[in-house]
Amino acid sequence: MSISRCKLLLLASICLLALVLSGCGLGKMAREHQQANGGPIDLKLAYHLPESHYLAQGMERFAARVNERSDGAIRIKTYPAGQLFTDKSMNDAILSGGLDMGLNSTAMWTTVVPALNVLDVPFVLHSYDAVARAMDGSLGRTLTNEMDKKGVHPLIWVDYGYVQFCNNVRPLKEPEDFGGLELRGYGQIPAETIKALGASPVTMSSAEVYMAMQRGTVDGQTSGTTAMYQRRIYEVGKYLTMTNHAYCEFVLAMSGAAWDRLTEKQKQLIEQAAVETRDEIRQQAKEEDLAAMEKLKEAGMEVYTIPPEDIPKWQAATMSVRENFIRQLGDLGRQLVDQCLAAN
């Protein structure tokens, strides 16, 4: 083989290798170089809720706002309904930087940030207005700081709604009425609350609740009214008690790596779009809660709402749950509870 032909083969091999590498690490490096020099920033936003859910629709509005207002400098692509990550796998992806941003329930973050359990501590936030004051104020800042410590930046706390009790045995108008019931909870603190009220907590997935109530495996459960209506719990449960004892929040969080890639101007743009979306969802969450309650009533459920003057009685009955939360988190736990109570 001639020397010139060897040189041509060597050159061709080098070009082929460059093309292969450009599709792998070098391609990523090139994109990062482009972004660092004024090119567009591509961000992936995942959530597991179906696209028809009002929180999902809020995420779509948020992405559209950022894309439009940044004039293409930031391009958020959404992945709904668990297309990219489920609620169980999403947080690890955000922590590792494999996902730029995701919407997930705070309950799914509690193993990483135990402070978020405060939202399930019973009867510490008495109204929608109190929740808003707490999450926009000192409680929200404290929880944001706890997540920042883990390398995750919360953009907004996203309201889902209050948690209630339902069952098919009897009306639950007093804490004493829970005695002897078996109720499904959705986590550690909800289970502690059920136990403190004198009932027995049962662990099962939300998908199993309908059949379990129908068969008498459990007497009832605790969840939001929207979830009860969507799962047709009114067909197997007769009594709904509007306790508003805990509050479900979601969080739209960014990986620290993705957040740090943004300029200050870009961060401000994203935060403004996020806050506008949060405020829309907050009003919608309250409306959805109450509308679902009316639908459950129309479907035949007997509804009882705890009067505000009775809240101290329910607080006393579940005080052991609050005390245990404070004992586990120490000074931070006390601070979180105090911030909730102050918002009332």
pLDDT in tens, 119-147: 999 999 999 999 999 999 999 999 999 99
Mean pLDDT of the chain: 90
Q: What is the pLDDT of residue 5?
A: 52
Q: Where are the alpha helices (DSSP H) in the chain?
A: 3-22, 25-36, 54-69, 87-96, 128-136, 138-148, 188-196, 209-215, 225-230, 256-260, 264-298, 311-317, 319-329, 331-342
d(CA 256, CA 25): 21
**Is 223 a residue whose pLDDT tops 50?**
yes
d(CA 220, CA 295): 18
**Is 30 a residue whose pLDDT tops 70?**
no
Domain boundaries of the chain, sorted by first residue? 40-342
Query: What is the mean predicted confidence (pLDDT) over 58-79?
Result: 97
- Say whether 105 sits in a helix, a strand or coil: strand
Range from 2-6, 35-39, 177-181, 223-227 carrying the lowest mean pLDDT: 2-6
d(CA 116, CA 262): 27
**Homologous superfamily of domain range 40-342:** Bacterial extracellular solute-binding protein, family 7 (3.40.190.170)
> Which two three-digit tokens encode residue 88?
């169980």
**Is 265 a residue whose pLDDT tops 90?**
yes
Q: What is the pLDDT of residue 37?
A: 54
Residue 155, Cα to own-chain centre: how many angstroms?
12
Query: What is the mean predicted confidence (pLDDT) over 150-179?
Result: 97
Query: What is the mean predicted confidence (pLDDT) over 235-262?
Result: 97
